Amino acid sequence: MCRKSFFLFFFLSCWFCMRAQVSSLYFDRITMQNGLSNNKVNCIIRDQRGFMWFGTDDGLNRYDGHNFVVFQHKPGDSSTISGNVINDIVEDKEGVLWIATADGGLSRYDYRQSRAHQFKQYRHSPGDSNSIPVNMLNKLQLDQQGFLWIATSGVALLRFDRKQERFTEPVKHGTMTMLDIELDKTGMLWAGRVGGGMLKMNPRTLRYETEPVYDDLYAKLPHMAITSLFADDEKVWFGSWDKVLYCRSIVTGKETVFKQSADPYSFKNDEISCFTADERGRLWMGGRYGGLHVYDKVTDRFYNYRYDPAREGTISDNRINALYTDKNGVVRIGERDEVDV
């Protein structure tokens, strides 16, 4: 029998940068034994008050460093969170959390409200054209105007006016599943599509560009399905079903591909599911199959960290779902481990 268990890891040790040696990482873990509602962690943030929030496959978890408070959906109770499979969380300037679920649409959480009104649900209601058009949400982004953007499975991309509580669908053609969205330093919105390559939109004008070559879903093209996105000062980095790493210049559009070669410090081919960057600008990437990848842009070297049952302090599984760097430089990792019994 195959039993699946899931773990959340905290990166505890420092990064040791040595010219002639591979850097070392050490990990510790938090699991359901510590109070987590479910060990599959899909997203992580730290709010303005200092609480850590973990979105899992069975509820939203708030962590104060010692104890967990778990928020779960209760059918028929509008005062609870709208769903239990939490895919993403963002915090706005007012300290309100916006939560994307895969099974219940969007939720709003405001801790300043009375307990019965802290959560507000935005679930799809058949026949109600003002409700959110789909309940399966993948990623969230807040733009410079304060609009909330939502990558979905079913209606591509949504823009939510938080003041008027109105959803609009600016993308009307092409594939209707987007796995990730990202804002670059210029304020442009990038969206990774399944079967359609990249979409780039101006959030102010709602004008967008697609890549027409991807209209042929059977064409053999690179990054036909984009799984994750991350923007630094110069480039947009993205993972793909191709199991190689891409980056595209924000200014010129020039694309670079990283793949495995004879160089021991090359990228170990993997489908990247999430990104973060540390305070020194190194790029951290969670792989679907190959563990944790770290890219040092200064040395142009990739480092790969995988589960090793013979060593204490390694990651517990080679599938990583979430990465987050807090203000103290601590990288937190949500990952999955499969154990055969």
Give pLDDT tens digits for 288-304. 999 999 999 999 999 99
Checking if the pLDDT of 8 tops 90, the result is no
pLDDT in tens, 65-118: 999 999 999 999 999 999 999 999 999 999 999 999 999 999 999 999 999 999
Residue 276 pairs with which residues in a beta bridge? Answer: 284
User: What mean pLDDT comes out for the span 181-198?
Assistant: 96
Checking if the pLDDT of 11 tops 70, the result is no
pLDDT band (50, 70, 90) for residue 16:
very low
pLDDT band (50, 70, 90) for residue 309:
confident
* pLDDT at site 1: 39
Checking if the pLDDT of 341 tops 80, the result is no
User: What mean pLDDT comes out for the span 190-212?
Assistant: 96
Looking at per-residue pLDDT, the higher value among 217 and 113 belongs to 113
* pLDDT at site 316: 80
Checking if the pLDDT of 5 tops 60, the result is no
User: What mean pLDDT comes out for the span 50-61?
Assistant: 96
* pLDDT at site 314: 83
Distance of CA 35 to the CA centre of its chain: 23
pLDDT band (50, 70, 90) for residue 24:
low
Which range among 134-148, 250-264, 323-337 shows the weakest confidence by mean pLDDT? 323-337
Cα–Cα distance, 259 to 293 (Å, whole number): 12
pLDDT band (50, 70, 90) for residue 335:
confident
| Contact (Cβ atoms closer than 8 angstroms) between residue 29 and residue 8 | yes
Mean pLDDT in the chain? 90
Checking if the pLDDT of 340 tops 70, the result is no
| Contact (Cβ atoms closer than 8 angstroms) between residue 268 and residue 304 | yes
* pLDDT at site 7: 52
* pLDDT at site 337: 46
